[in-house]
Amino acid sequence: MKQIRLGLVGAGVVGSNLLNLLDKKKAEIERLHQIQLQMHAIATRTPSKIAGLTKLSIGTDPLAVANDPNVDILIELMGGTTSALEVVQTALKNGKSVITANKALLSDYGDQIFQLAEEKGKFIGFEAAVAGSIPIIRSLRNGLAACDFEVVCGILNGTTNFILTKMEEENWDYEIALKKAQELGFAEADPTFDVEGIDAAHKISLLASLAFRNKISFRQLSVEGISKLKYIDITACKSLGYRIKLLGIAKKYENGILAKVHPTLIPLKHPLANVMNESNAVFYKSQEADAGMMTGKGAGGTPTASAVLSDIIYYGSKISEGSTKIERNFFPPAQVPTPENNRVRYYLRFSTIDRPGVLSEIARILGKNNISIASVQQKESESEPVNVIVVTHEAKEGDFQKSIQEIDDLKSLIKEKTVAIRLLEHL
């Protein structure tokens, strides 16, 4: 039975859960997969936190693990990009395969890492980097390898999904829901990475690159978060038959692949609309397999550790078999169309003064820019601002952006910046 020696760098919540899983499932893995997984070296900033989980001497220098000649697979759970990049590159140069849960690292520096891995003939496993316990990476690579995708999209951040769920269920505004998420440990003290869509953007860039076999850079994405949303948006959209979700979307057009992250109105009958709390989901549609969706826990110590361990078993088995067939992760750059001509529908909430003629001026500007109105709601208010809600017909993205800017510049009529949310595109 082949022994696969592991080196772990970073032993926080996910790392400690991984050590527990390795110990719990050791005998089962040996019986089912005919490999012996042996933790050989660990480095973490706080060795005392995992002292009871291993008999190994725990170090604090991750490069020592990356340079250890007795390690076959390095498991990178440090987070961040600067130190993690150095550690991963060092491990690859030293002939080790790498498993990581670090979506920011791969999104920002994937080209360098994947190219180096191919040059060295080593594996990179990153199932845990996107959507936690949902096995979407291997599904795109293997189970759906024959498919030509039209769209891949999903709820890829549990923090924002939890916040939006509580805003609806508890009648809370954004600030209250965020505070609750922080109290429960779903959101960081500085939640920017999650609530402004950055985390989801890193993930959809990875999914899109695999699905479309072309490199989609994080820097090519347009990204919007949920921090401008209010409870009135949740209730107004629900009354219209929609639920708001933060989606990462990658869609194929004739002139390229457009990827983006933004709040989206999803029809209540669509399966994505009913993924609640901290759960994640990935929806896809292809020419051959039509539509499908996978759901599950997108974060958390045990779900993420289970995805890491699955990669360890998968790539450990390949190493044991002596496989030299390296999966392709390094793709040519995608052609990315500008979104200005993309046709979309919008929910628009205008915060206006209480004066006759405001709605007609809004309608005039929209009409001037080739945007027609499908419905209008005006919420009664005893004080300003007054909320005017407009749902539009389909028009060009560029015309919407031009109209919104022009309307927001009406300082004598508009009290706050317009909240603009796209309706679900044809998926």
Neighbours of 208 (CB within 10 A): 30
Instruction: Out of 166, 203, 285, 297, pick the active-site residue.
Output: 203
**With DSSP H G I counted as helix, E B as strand and the rest as coil, what are the percentages for the chain, rounded to 5?**
40, 25, 30
Cβ-contact 35, 4 below 8 angstroms: yes
Q: What 3-state class would DSSP assign to 168? A: helix
Structure-block tokens of residue 105: 């690292």
Structure-block tokens of residue 405: 């800017």
User: Among 74, 110, 361, which residue's Cα sits nearest to residue 217?
Assistant: 110
Residue 16 assigned as binding residue: yes
Distance separating alpha carbons of residues 299 and 269, to the nearest angstrom:
26
Distance separating alpha carbons of residues 5 and 402, to the nearest angstrom:
58
Residue 10 assigned as binding residue: yes
Distance separating alpha carbons of residues 47 and 64, to the nearest angstrom:
15
Cβ-contact 90, 66 below 8 angstroms: yes
Residue 15 assigned as binding residue: yes
Residue 12 assigned as binding residue: yes
Distance separating alpha carbons of residues 65 and 77, to the nearest angstrom:
13
Give the CA radius of gyration of the chain: 24
288: buried, middle or exposed (CB in 10 Å: 19+, 13-18, 0-12)?
A: exposed
Residue 391 assigned as binding residue: no
Neighbours of 128 (CB within 10 A): 28
User: Among 295, 294, 270, which residue's Cα sits nearest to residue 426?
Assistant: 270
Structure-block tokens of residue 382: 């005893």
Residue 11 assigned as binding residue: yes
Active site residue 203: yes
Residue 103 assigned as binding residue: yes
330: left (phi over 0), alpha (psi -120 to 50) or beta: beta
Strands 256-267, 222-223: pairing kind:
parallel
Distance separating alpha carbons of residues 219 and 274, to the nearest angstrom:
30
Residue 9 assigned as binding residue: yes
For residue 200, which phi and psi values (nearest 5 degrees)? -65, -35
User: Among 280, 298, 279, 300, which residue's Cα sits nearest to residue 13?
Assistant: 300
Q: Binding site membership for NADPH: which residues?
A: 103
Catalytic residue annotation:
203
Q: Binding site membership for NADP(+): which residues?
A: 9-16
Q: Binding site membership: which residues?
A: 9-16, 103, 188
Q: Binding site membership for L-homoserine: which residues?
A: 188
